[in-house]
Amino acid sequence: MRGVLVGVVGTVVVLGVAGAVAVPQAREWYEGRHEQTASYATGKAAKAERPSVPRWLPDDAASVEYAMRTTGGERILKATLSGDGLPASCTPLDAGAEKAPDPEIRASWFPSGAASGAQGRCGSYYVSLKDHTLYAWQTNDDWVEENRRSAQ
């Protein structure tokens, strides 16, 4: 009887440890399975390779990092710009009128808290510029609205 009890307890412990390791890994895979990331030398190369990269990104932008969710419109982008300002087609945010939402996906190269530094809109993307580094993000709701407008 004691041997059976030890066997049952041992099995429960092994299953518990396996579950503690497997469940977080499965969850991470499940949540990230529809996300794609890519790096490009220039904005021109990014736009040529992936149609979902925004057209307002300057061709001469360098060190482009891009992440997207394939099941919706969530996007984040990082690029080095040659100029001192936002791309010409972008518009500044009205002070106090519009609060930028947080990005809906994450990447190690995209800073947390980017929404608090939002300076403008480029199409359906919120953008911030720090030195020559552009950070841009699009939410699924903004993507849906942009598609609705372009379909009319």
CB 100, CB 126: distance < 8 Å: yes
- Residue 127 burial class via C-beta count within 10 angstroms: exposed 0-12, middle 13-18, buried 19 and up: buried
What is the pairing mode between strands 91-92 and 75-80? unpaired
Token readout for 26 is 């499965």
Compare 21 and 2 and report the one with higher pLDDT: 2
End-to-end Cα distance, the chain:
75
User: In the chain, pLDDT over 90 holds for what percent of residues?
Assistant: 66
Asked whether residue 16 carries a pLDDT value surpassing 90, the answer given is: no
- Position 27 pLDDT exceeds 60: no
In sequence order, the β-bridge partners of residue 18 are: none
Residues 105-149 pLDDT 10s: 999 999 999 999 999 999 999 999 999 999 999 999 999 998 888
Task: Specify the long-range contacts of residues 55-62, CB closer than 8 Å, at least 24 apart.
Answer: 55/123, 56/87, 56/89, 56/90, 56/122, 56/123, 56/125, 57/87, 58/82, 58/83, 58/87, 61/134
